[in-house]
Structure 1
Amino acid sequence: MKYIHVYALFLMSVFHTSCGQKQTEPHKDNINYNIKDTVTSYGPSTMVRNVKQDRNGNILIAASWGGVFRYDGKSFTNLTSRIGSRRYWDVLEDRRGNLWFASTDSGVYYYNGKSFQHFTTREGLANNLVMSIYEDKAGNIWFGGGGLSLYDGKSFRNFTTKDGFPNNGGRAIMEDKTGKLWIATGDGPCFYDGKTFTVLKNKDGKLFKNTWSIIEDKKGSIWFGDVNGLWRYDGSTFAKVSQRGAYAVIEDKKGNIWTTGSVNPNNVGAWALSRYDHKSLYNKKPTVTEILSGPPAFLGLLEASDGSIWFGSGSGVYRYDGKTITDFKSKEGMK
């Protein structure tokens, strides 16, 4: 029960949304363009939900209340200094090089490097609670959180329970090799084939609970993490790979699977960064190495282009280069 209660702290209120399209004209915010971007030597010290990398190799960091930061290898620039404090959850660079910032309290901000546009329910967004941003192969931008929205550059289309979409939706989004869109929801993983939403159920016919992450590996299998552990789906059957919780899941260039999450359901205060060896992934008991244990909680994951592993935590961002873990919060942590 304690385990469920801890995960419940992560859950956000979800509101009923309506389906349809609405032409979008972003409203004007009181954004102070006279304020310069804040540049510091150290990273954020607040909770970091997601870490991404842009086309130039910079690291993008979404820190709740701290801002969205860009790290160029030398310094951290707060890209949201002009907007002010928000509960930032995710960040995306689209194919045109523009940035999108998701927040769970004020919708989405679009930044072209010079000016901002703000998208909320006023412009057609399903909900101002946004936890994930994803660009599909066609260039559409998807937003998940308190609902699911598709933005084609001109208007929004929202998906609701009337369309078969689960109530608790949108913690993570990805498109697989066949073009299906997968969404991690509070009711488990589901996919959208362009017409219908299908919510996956386990072998007992029950829904999964509190799914936070979902990826496709090189073999085409779907991996996802929920409060009960790490799972793999081959298109017809499920395999429970580990009892370790998986808040975030990634596959690295070598084929190893990395996760962050609680170590086991009975020890909710113990979090870990874990690596599952690619040679044993499909064994009954894959080889897992615990790289770092917590608290704090470990959250979003990224393999950077140089092979280093970046991960968010309840108190900042870390980098693991295969030997050393750097926490970036202080001069001592960066040694």
Structure 2
Amino acid sequence: MYLKRLFLLFLSGFLFFSCEEYEDAIDPYSLGEWKTFTTRDGIGGNEIWTMLADSKGNIWIATLDNGVTRYDGNSWKTWNTSNGLIDNTVTAIEEDINGDMWFGTSSGFSILNASGFNNYTGIGGNIWQVRSLKQADNGSMWIGTWGNGFFEVKSSGIISYYNDTWEETNYVNCIDQDMQGNIWVGTNVGVYRVRPSNVDFFTVSDGLTTSTVKSLMADSWGHVWFGPDDQENITRYDGQKFSPISLYNGMPQNYVTSFLEDTQGNIWIGMISNGVIKYDGTIMRSYFNNDGLASNTITAIVQDTNGNIWFASYEDGITRYKPGFDD
């Protein structure tokens, strides 16, 4: 496999382990409070692709075809193509070091600052379908695309372009940065680890439960978690090796869409059709729509500055969970 890196300058700014116990029967009302929000409350659309909790306490909600909505705790505001957004299908959200908001879409990406929107489609005539955005500690913004590889946009305006001759690796699902500053990029055929000195590529032969990495998250302990699309197990990397962790939910096929490490150190795992699992390192608890979720198909999980956990669903809006005394 040959990974090429091109350096471009954009002159007018940015171009841009196993578990010991499993617990399923829960009384959610003794644990906390659940509330669902939909278009009736003010969200632009009920089909949610992803979410972000920003540094100011806002919740940003990316919809499938109705733009992006911001909830500040009191009111809702939606941006779409009618008021500056480049495309109504929003697939990624990130806040940069300046507090500006980046929105990945099917037609490129938009940056929203105090002056309004700046919109960018891609490089060399290619329209980027942006699937993931990650602000790195050094100020760079990493952009993952569907079919055009991934990019590092530095604050200087220099862009590092990672595009593989093996076309399948150019379809990026997710990006995160670990405690050592490494960038992890999940694709449908494996995962990249980008370090200053080199780029590694890992597959099932290296210990992943599957080469299709639909979601990943680096936690505060130095681990990296990887979500599959059809496995009973997820994978955790401890800095030395990849290890499978069973979800113990009785489901042979789990499509893991999202991870969250909350402020208590719990790992939340969102799935298609199988609800949410909370893992405290020993016990796994399942949550479903009859516990308070809007849907059993979860597309994103975030925690706000007040400690609330938010769950995005594919067709039924979002759910806010206020943890109770047992949490």
User: In which range does the TM-score fall when normalised by the shorter chain?
Assistant: 0.7 to 0.9
CA distance in 1, matches of 2:310, 2:213: 21
CA shift at 1:182, angstroms?
A: 0.8
Aligned to 1:288: 284
Aligned to 2:115: 114
* CA pair 127-181 structure 1, distance change in 2 beyond 3 A: farther
Aligned to 1:311: 311
* CA pair 320-96 structure 1, distance change in 2 beyond 3 A: same
CA shift at 1:125, angstroms?
A: 8.9
CA shift at 1:241, angstroms?
A: 1.2
SS of the equivalent of 2:180 reads coil
Gaps in structure 1 of 5+ consecutive residues: 1-15, 28-38, 263-269, 281-286, 324-335
Aligned to 1:91: 93
1:190 equivalent among 189, 192, 196: 192
Percent of residue pairs bearing the same amino acid type: 24
Identify, as 1 or 2, the structure richer in strand: 2
1:255 equivalent among 248, 258, 265: 265
Where do 1:215-254 residues align within 5 Å?
A: 215-227=217-229, 228=231, 229-243=233-247, 244-254=254-264
Higher mean displacement: 124-133 or 226-235: 124-133
CA distance in 1, matches of 2:145, 2:72: 29
CA shift at 1:234, angstroms?
A: 1.3
CA distance in 2, matches of 1:188, 1:26: 32
CA shift at 1:166, angstroms?
A: 6.2
CA shift at 1:206, angstroms?
A: 7.5
SS of the equivalent of 2:204 reads coil
**Alignment root-mean-square deviation, CA:** 2.9
CA distance in 1, matches of 2:189, 2:11: 30
The reply on whether 1:272 has 2:275 as its aligned counterpart is yes
Q: Deviations over 1:31-80 (max 9, x none)?
A: xxxxxxxx984223332122112221111111121111110111210133
CA distance in 1, matches of 2:4, 2:220: 35
Aligned to 1:332: none
CA distance in 1, matches of 2:56, 2:117: 21
The reply on whether 1:23 has 2:41 as its aligned counterpart is no
Q: How many residues align?
A: 280
Where do 1:28-43 residues align within 5 Å?
A: 41-43=41-43
Given that residues 131 and 145 in structure 1 are in contact (C-alpha distance below 8 angstroms), is that contact kept between their aligned partners in structure 2?
Answer: yes
Given that residues 221 and 232 in structure 1 are in contact (C-alpha distance below 8 angstroms), is that contact kept between their aligned partners in structure 2?
Answer: yes
Question: Normalised by the size of structure 2, how large is the TM-score?
Answer: 0.76
SS of the equivalent of 1:51 reads strand
SS of the equivalent of 1:167 reads helix
Gaps in structure 2 of 5+ consecutive residues: 15-38, 248-253
CA shift at 1:188, angstroms?
A: 2.5
Question: Normalised by the size of structure 1, how large is the TM-score?
Answer: 0.75
SS of the equivalent of 1:19 reads strand
Higher mean displacement: 110-119 or 80-89: 80-89
CA shift at 1:236, angstroms?
A: 2.6
The reply on whether 1:150 has 2:152 as its aligned counterpart is yes
